[in-house]
Every structure is written in C-alpha cells, then in structure tokens.
Amino acid sequence: MLRGALASTTFGEKNLPPINTNAQPSDILKWKRKPEVATCYKDLFEKMDNNEDSLLTLTQILANFFN
C-alpha cells in the first residue's frame, strides 16, 4: 500500500494509471507501454524544480521513504 501512496502523491492518480501487484506479465507489459507510465518514469530522473540544486524526483522519493 505504501508504494501506491508514494506514486499517487508524487505523480497523481490521473497521471500514473494503477496496476495490480498480482497482474499477469502481459498486463504489466501493456501498462509499461502506456505513454503516461513512460512520462512518469522519465520524470523520476528530472529535477523537482528549476533550481540548480534541486533534487531529482527519485532522490526525493527515496529520502521521504527512508526518513
């Protein structure tokens, strides 16, 4: 449940479609090929804002998770 909460908070449900953790591999592959998922994946490696010292989105997620 925590993983879903982090994804929802970071990307919003409207941007990242849900996926069942028990989904079949073929369903997971279809999900990964969705443009919304690709955009969210790319955004993980972008800075949180335009500030030069800003953290990457992924770094911020990990910091929140481990704090």
33-62 average pLDDT score = 89
Question: What would the two tokens of residue 14 be?
Answer: 């409207």
Per-residue pLDDT, 66: 87
pLDDT beyond 70 at 63: yes
CA distance 13 to 17: 6
Sign of CA pseudo-dihedral 32, 14, 39, 57: negative
- What integer pLDDT is reported at residue 1 of this predicted model? 45
Q: Identify the pLDDT of residue 60.
A: 87
pLDDT digits (tens, 9 = 90+) for 1-32: 445 666 666 666 568 888 998 999 999 999 99
Q: Round to whole Å and give the CA distance between 22 and 27.
A: 10
Model confidence pLDDT, tens digit, residues 43-55: 899 998 888 888 8
